[in-house]
Chains A and B, each alone.
Chain A
Amino acid sequence: MKQHLRPAVALLVLFTLITGALYPLLIVGIAQGVFPFEANGSIIQRDGNPIGSALIGQQFTSAKYFWSRLSATAPFPYNAGASSGSNYGPMNRSLLNATRSRVEQLRGADSLNMQSIPVDLATASASGLDPHISIQSAQYQLSRVARERNLPEVKVRSLVEQCTESRTFGFLGEPRVNVLKLNLALDGLTSSPKGAD
């Protein structure tokens, strides 16, 4: 027992130095040198001011924006300081109520739209910060956003396509649309004729 005390403590101290200090600091150095944008939160700038992260979703409620997925973070949706899923089981009444009221909201915002609602748009993400919706969810909302903004659907569709990320190498992951980027692009479109940008 006694003869093990010195190696235990000494090695713990040495490993702390190597894996707890040198290793993370070295990676910080490399990251800041080679990938400064990615290493600092992929923050989108406009006129030198940060206006959101390309990786972190935001909540949108007005009809002129594409809506993100449901978010279960507390005390408000898309609270990036406290990531969380709903953790409701599939039969949980709270889940069914949340889904039902979401369907009603979507229908209420766009009573002309008779399409089925894509499941990702009616459910909460794992992180509560999902920056994406499926392409089908974007298509579902397309006519509503175009109408609210008095834009031709073709124009909105082309923006959706610009903000679509396809499967990596053609097969990894799922094709998806970045909601914040899409809405920022829409705002840019609406405001630029007035010269606001």
Chain B
Amino acid sequence: MTVAGVIQLVFFLIVLTALSRPLGAYMARVFRRERTFLDPILGPVERIMYRLSGVNKDEEMDWKGNAVAMLVFSVAGLLAVYALQRLQHLLPFNPQGLGAVTPDSAFNTAVSFASNTNWQGYAGETTMSYLTQMVGLTVQNFVSAAAGMALLALFIRGIARHSTRMLGNFWVDLTRSTLYILLPLSMVLAVVLVSQGVVQNLSSYKTVPLVEPVVDASGAKVTTQTLPMGPAASQIAIKQLGTNGGGFFNVNSAHPFENPTPVSNFLEMLSILLIPAALCFTYGELVRDKRQGWAVFAAMMIIFIPLTATAVWAEQAGNPAIIGMGIDQTASDIQPGGNMEGKEVRFGIVNSALWATATTAASNGSVNSMHDSYMPLGGAVTLFMMQLGEVVFGGVGSGLYGMLVFVIVAVFVAGLLVGRTPEYLGHKIEAYEMKMASLLILIMPITVLALTALAVVSEPGRATIHNPGAHGFSEVMYLFTSQGNNNGSAFAGIGANTPFYNTLGGIAMLIARFWIAVPTLALAGSLAAKRLVPTTEGTLPTHTPLFVFWLVVVIIIVGALNFLPALALGPFVEHFMLCT
């Protein structure tokens, strides 16, 4: 790795950690409903919203009440986005006159945005009207992220509380997450992004003359270039902050209008991990034991850092297949070197590989380089990051509750090994909790592997694979891994905008979001109902380096057992073919 590369990585990690702690403490105040500095402005808005929607903010609900509330809200959002896409040709703010989106693509996209996946089966600039982007997609960027944070708040209360059935009020947590956390952060980020050159307007696309005319595929002469426009910055800010990832333009944050400079890149990359990382510290605050937050944060970092280094190393090493063509792939002060296919010069190798690891660690899914063109091991890192279940930072809210499920499993397994009753923060871990936890861990690999298998043995599944051989298998596995973990990034070569992939992918996204969310709430409800077990000599401490190490081991072993065989068929085969 180059010196400049190391400096950029270290700087990124330091800024991330430094900002996470104060933001985490602030978010804890939001979830505890304490006064914040934004209350003078947002307090009245919040009160009006509760009045108009008939929410009694002091009423709490049990896990089932909250689960139903979350489901009803998500379905309402899903239907709204579907309807907008199908009717966009009849609605205003459509200067390009784009037509209605096809039913299967509209279904996939509606599920995608309501489930916080933000998989893009479509190409933004040629498919979605400004109205659809703003009123449909931007809104879901906010509320699906806020719903994840609300679920986390409910789950944490399940851990923090004892002898009660009540977890809090989904509506209040949803509203406060949006107003006090996502909205102010997005406004600041959006304005800074515009200053860097991200477009933000309501104009129609602009045409400029080309310096040198080009000839298109049909032999016709092209003398102008059409520049896409639109309210991009406002959507990009929340797509990064809310682990959404659905870009304004087809190539997402690789597009110079979406991510024009190293500064915009740094901030967008920071925003991918900022809230998920900060939520670890929110957790520590809410369970009144900051060490628990640090322990979870440390476990995430221990997995994140070596995998990032692996991806950077694999990409910087370059492509052995083009050796001998007279090409210089060595990094220096005047060229990035390495595997530059599908990467932008302004980002080079380090900022591309760091982004790729961050976006798959968090379930963000935005990209600033094309993962499909990564070296096999670089691509394997992004696949494996998702296959760990999106618990290394993960989605806003969903990542941390996924991680806490692994904590409970780690406590349980450790308890079995030493022959003690497993306890976590004063709760006995019993059969019901373990059933829910096992379910939560098994649903994802079953969905991903079953759908991958189905696609590669069926004709419509194989028809749109873009790369031959092992890489083609990786494309299919990446597609279902991404959607089955609500990530949304892609090995984009695969032709995914077909009824086959739109429908199966939509199902995978629904399962990944809601079949996980409901048992998670059930687990929280069961934990909250338990009597407090006093801490004794025999209690396993869950904040020590030993426990953090143990937690990392459990996560890696579960992930590896589930996916190593499949990875061997894709990226590993490709790696050995390429290197021999």
Contacts and interface: CB of A to CB of B under 8 A. Distances in A.
Interface of A: 1, 4-12, 14-16, 18-21, 23-24, 26-28, 30-32, 34-35, 38-43, 50-62, 65, 69, 74-93, 95-96, 99-100, 103, 107, 115-120, 122-137, 139, 165, 167-168, 171-176, 180, 183-184, 187
A21 to B, nearest CB: 7
B260 A183 contact: no
23 contacts: A8-B73, A10-B52, A11-B171, A12-B76, A20-B136, A27-B191, A28-B231, A31-B200, A41-B227, A61-B214, A62-B212, A75-B217, A76-B217, A81-B226, A88-B467, A117-B328, A119-B335, A119-B338, A123-B342, A124-B342, A133-B345, A134-B334, A168-B262
A80 B126 CA distance: 11
Interface range, B side:
35 or more
Given A38-B196, A132-B345, A83 B255 contact: yes
Nearest to B79: A12
Given A23-B138, A122-B325, A139-B334, A85 B467 contact: no
Nearest to B369: A126
A9 to B, nearest CB: 6
A1 B68 CA distance: 6
B341 A124 contact: yes
Contact of A8 (B72, B134, B205, B345): B72
Interface of B: 4, 7-8, 11, 45, 49, 52-55, 68-69, 72-73, 76-77, 80, 123, 125-126, 134-136, 138-139, 141-143, 171, 174-175, 178-179, 183, 186-187, 190-191, 194-203, 205-206, 208-212, 214-218, 222, 225-229, 231, 233-235, 238, 249-251, 254-257, 260-263, 265-266, 318-319, 321-322, 325-329, 332-348, 351-352, 367-370, 372-376, 466-469, 471, 474, 491-493, 574, 577-578
B256 A89 contact: no
Of B226, B227, B335, most A-chain CB atoms within 10 Å? B335
A43 B201 CA distance: 14
| The 10 residue pairs across chains A and B that have the minimum distance between CB atoms | A173-B262, A87-B493, A10-B53, A89-B471, A126-B254, A174-B348, A116-B328, A85-B370, A136-B335, A76-B216
Contact of B200 (A1, A39, A167): A39
A78 B95 CA distance: 22
Given A61-B214, A85-B373, A96-B322, A123 B191 contact: no
B249 A83 contact: yes
A82 B124 CA distance: 9
A106 B422 CA distance: 67
B197 A38 contact: yes
A93 to B, nearest CB: 8
Contacts of A43: 206, 208, 227
